[in-house]
Amino acid sequence: MKLVPLGDKIVLKQLEAEETTKSGIVLPGQAKEKPQEAEVIAVGPGGVVDGKEVVMQVKVGDKVIYSKYAGTDVELEGEKYIIVKQNDILAIVE
């Protein structure tokens, strides 16, 4: 089974948060923030959304930064994904 997003939706898989700081301090589970970096797993076709033409600017495999409270969390076959609108993507990490 696979997720196929519609319109301007994008399926993301969240990247793992680092468990130690750059100075070597190990963070307990509660201290870790939800990471805002994810990998693009699937991209919708774009098209006309709410009367406006939407051209998709990300592609499968891109690493992106997305809005902290954006999207809908989904679990499929034991894997966790986030479905967001393209305008919730803030940047592509190169």
Binned average pLDDT, 10 residues per bin, the chain of 94 residues: 90 78 64 75 89 91 93 92 94 93
Q: In which residue are the tokens 């592509």 written?
A: 92
Number of domains into which the chain is organized: 1
Question: For residue 31, what pLDDT is reported?
Answer: 47
Asked if the structure places residue 80 within a domain, the reply is yes
Asked if the structure places residue 83 within a domain, the reply is yes
Asked if the structure places residue 73 within a domain, the reply is yes
Asked if the structure places residue 22 within a domain, the reply is no
Residue 51 belongs to domain with CATH number: 2.30.33.40
**Are the C-beta atoms of 61 and 92 separated by less than 8 Å?**
no
Distance CA 71, CA 86 (A): 10
Q: 58 is in which domain, residue-wise?
A: 7-14+32-87
Neighbours of 54 (CB within 10 A): 17
Distance CA 19, CA 41 (A): 24
Nearest CA-CA partner of 10 in 74, 94, 77? 74
